């Protein structure tokens, strides 16, 4: 369970998150929507401690993100997939995936690589195991990014605009994998611009506006005319994103 | 008469000894410079206890003042200041190590800067410790960036070692001077000395090229 209470995050004078309360239960797939600058990515980056929170609290399975020791435990439980992939360019695809399991989870090297290979197979990239990231397409890199996150066997998968740097074709190949994962019951928190994707995989939609949660509704409610769409801000956002 | 005694077999021995001293001074100051320079660079990068700036100021001084002046400062200054004896070779190694370290520090910092920082965030998000990130991600990649600069620095510092002859180190240059004064055959002596440096430099370059290849970005530490 991820519990966020009254979360504030400032960057200097700029207040990005202004009191966010959110609970995410195990097995839930939650999409966080909102315009640019609404604080969506910052919210995810606060959960894994990449941004230090200004005030409020975040607990992941009762571990406190403000506590250094707890944070390491949180990071083991939450794996992040990044918008720009951020793979390690000096390591082969296989080693990119196996690095953290070997060095953080202290898995045996051979086992970790066998598992990495299985993950590669599941995203149909096993023939790229010994290739370096520079030789991959964006879509392939992101599939590796997903494998790298899954190799940690996380309780929570944090997706930070994972398709924003991809063209539609590559986006499709990444979304197929994520849909499959959502069905398998992994807890996912996804910051995204892909309304269609959010609609398809999410149990719940959180709409963030100017650093606050405007709506926190089940998917069906959010996309219904009486629910989310009755809010003019959300209606405007959805129509702008091409969803009627 | 002084200066026309011709070459003897002992000149060859002298040459070999000079070569040994030059190479020894070069190698030891390179290794020490690499160690201290890397430490200074890392202190600056992690901004440990705020001394990074002071160290960088020192390294700026060493980079932008003549090595000969530094050599005199160490050779004459340290014994006067601390009342200890310093042999010419010791003074030479201290000076050149410091000078090399100054350049290495700058190379280390710029090589770390050249790394895409977002992958470090990714590594942090997977609970890798700062030490693991340094060892497994920063080190292999920055080494790949740094290697060509290390090699050209090494070749340059090899030539700079010839300055140590001025404080009485019997290195290759000093040996050339001694033989020349005896034989008065500058057009034989100095080309030989010059070619010796040239061959040494080429050797360093060769080894450097090997290392560069070995540590090139995509090959670096592919085994984890």
pLDDT digits (tens, 9 = 90+) for B125-153: 999 999 999 999 999 999 999 999 999 99
**Residue B127 Cα, gap to closest chain A Cα (Å):** 5
**Is the domain covering A2-38+73-240 a CATH 1.10.10.10 domain?**
no
Band of residue B65 on the pLDDT scale cut at 50, 70, 90: very high
ipTM: 0.93
Chain A residues whose beta carbon lies within 8 Å of the beta carbon of residue B222: 90-92, 95
Residue B224 has pLDDT above 50, yes or no: no
- Tell me yes or no: is domain B9-214 CATH 1.10.10.10: no
Examine the pLDDT at B93 and tell me if it is beyond 50.
yes
In A28-186, alpha helices (H): 40-47, 68-77, 93-103, 109-122, 138-150, 168-184
pLDDT digits (tens, 9 = 90+) for A80-134: 999 999 999 999 999 999 999 999 999 999 999 999 999 999 999 999 999 999 9
Whole-structure pTM value: 0.87
Of B118, B132, B141, the CB nearest to A90: B141
Interface of A with B in 153-212 (CB under 8 A): none
Q: Identify all chain A residues contacting B140, using CB atoms and an 8 Å cutoff.
A: 90
Question: How big is the CA angle at A32 (ends A30 and A37), to the nearest 5 degrees?
Answer: 165
What is the separation of C-alpha B174 from the centre of its chain, rounded to a whole number of angstroms? 20
Q: Among all residues of chain A, which has the CA nearest to that of B122?
A: A86
* Sequence spans of domains, chain B: 9-214
The fraction of chain A above a pLDDT of 90, given in percent, is 81
Report the candidate in B175, B23, B9, B33 with the shortest Cα–Cα distance to residue B95. B33
> What is the pLDDT at residue B217?
58
Quote the distance between the C-alpha of residue A237 and its chain's center. Answer: 21
Contacts of A86 in chain B (CB under 8 A): 116, 118-119, 121-122
**DSSP character at residue A213:** E
Asked if A99's CB is within 8 angstroms of B125's CB, the reply is no
Instruction: Pick the residue from chain B with its C-alpha nearest to A47.
Output: B125
Q: What tokens appear for A179 in the block?
A: 């849909």
Residue of B nearest to A145 (CA): B122
């Amino acid at each position: 369970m991820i519990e966020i209470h009254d979360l504030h995050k400032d960057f200097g004078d700029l207040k990005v998150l202004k009191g966010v309360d959110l609970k995410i239960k195990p097995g839930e797939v939650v999409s966080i929507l909102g315009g640019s600058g609404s604080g969506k990515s910052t919210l995810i980056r606060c959960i894994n401690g990449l941004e230090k929170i200004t005030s409020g609290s975040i607990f992941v399975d009762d571990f406190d993100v403000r506590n250094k020791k707890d944070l390491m435990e949180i990071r083991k439980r939450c794996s992040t997939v990044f918008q720009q992939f951020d793979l390690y360019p000096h390591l082969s695809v296989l080693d990119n995936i196996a690095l953290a399991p070997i060095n953080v989870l202290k898995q045996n090297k051979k086992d970790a690589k066998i598992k990495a290979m299985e993950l590669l197979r599941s995203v149909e990239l096993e023939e790229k195991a010994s290739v370096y990231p520079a030789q991959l397409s964006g879509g392939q890199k992101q599939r590796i990014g997903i494998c790298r996150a899954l190799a940690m066997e996380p309780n929570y998968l944090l997706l930070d605009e994972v398709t924003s740097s991809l063209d539609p074709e590559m986006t499709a190949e990444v979304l197929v994998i994520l849909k499959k994962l959502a069905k398998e019951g992994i807890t996912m928190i996804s910051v995204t611009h892909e309304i269609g994707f959010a609609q398809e995989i999410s149990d719940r939609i959180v709409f963030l506006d100017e650093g606050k949660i405007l709506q926190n509704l089940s998917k069906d409610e959010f996309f219904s005319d009486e629910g989310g769409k009755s809010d003019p801000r959300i209606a405007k956002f959805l129509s702008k994103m091409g969803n009627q | 008469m002084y200066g026309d005694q011709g070459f003897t077999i002992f000149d060859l021995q002298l040459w070999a000894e000079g070569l040994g001293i030059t190479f020894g001074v070069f190698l030891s100051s390179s290794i020490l410079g690499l160690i201290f320079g890397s430490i200074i660079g890392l202190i600056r990068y992690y901004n440990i206890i705020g001394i990074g700036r002071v160290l960088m100021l020192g390294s700026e001084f060493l980079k932008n003042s003549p090595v000969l002046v530094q050599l005199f400062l160490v050779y004459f200054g340290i014994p006067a200041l601390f009342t200890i004896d310093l042999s010419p070779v010791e003074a030479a190694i201290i000076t050149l190590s410091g000078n090399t370290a100054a350049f290495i520090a700058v190379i280390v910092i710029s090589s770390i800067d050249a790394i895409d920082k977002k992958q470090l965030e990714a590594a942090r998000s997977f609970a890798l410790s700062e030490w693991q990130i340094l060892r497994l991600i920063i080190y292999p990649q920055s080494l790949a960036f740094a290697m060509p600069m290390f090699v050209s620095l090494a070749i340059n510092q090899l030539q700079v070692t010839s300055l140590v002859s001025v404080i009485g180190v019997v290195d290759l240059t000093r040996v050339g001077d001694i033989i020349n004064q005896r034989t008065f055959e500058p057009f034989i002596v100095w080309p030989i000395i010059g070619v010796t440096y040239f061959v040494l430099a080429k050797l360093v370059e060769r080894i450097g090229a090997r290392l560069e290849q070995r540590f090139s970005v995509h090959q670096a530490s592919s085994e984890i």
